Amino acid sequence: MPHSSWLKAVGAAFAVALATATAAHAAPAPASAPAPAPELTAATSVAAVVTLRYDDSRAGGWEAAIAAGVASWNRNVSNVRLVEAAPGTRAEIQIVATSGWPQATLGPVRPGGQVRVELGSQAVSEGYDKTRIATHEMGHSLGLPDTKPGPCSQLMSGSAAGTSCTNAVPNATERSRVESAYAGGLASLVPADGRTLVDAP
């Protein structure tokens, strides 16, 4: 056998032996790799959002305050969304204007259930901010009780914060309580409290 052929044969044999030895000492592959955790997709998030409709057709004079209150809640909580009900359709949150003190049914209101919000002009005539009133009363519909006495930074302190308070944004604790009440769409299984909370000082 010529020298060059002999070198090729020895090299090939060495390569085969090396590959066999490497394969014999390699760690065996796991029987089955654990499945990766499912990712939270946009579709998953949307599926968990509870939509609640409100009817303010009998709340003349409060339209701007209601719109601002709805926008505040929709900006600050992610798993419940307030939308205006189409004319003639049933709404979970009935909003009416009255001449007395603001008051509301304590939720959390279920989809298909119903609570009432009364936006009383007596509070406005005494100097309280309309947007704060509307946002506060919607907070009752979402399951938040009053936190009186309390500072202006607490939306649910209501009239206890005084007439100079115009804060209409729920704080972190209030947001967390609403998120918890509607987690995974579970508000559909939790009945509203049903009590009427009157927000007079």
Q: Which of 92, 118, 137, 174 is catalytic?
A: 137
Backbone phi, psi, residue 144, to 5°: -95, 125
CA neighbor of 151 nearest in space, from 162, 136, 139: 162
Distance CA 144, CA 193 (A): 10
Q: Which residue, among 177, 164, 159, has the nearest Cα to 106 in the 3D structure? A: 177
- Tell me if residue 137 is catalytic: yes
Distance CA 60, CA 39 (A): 45
- Residues acting as catalytic residues: 137
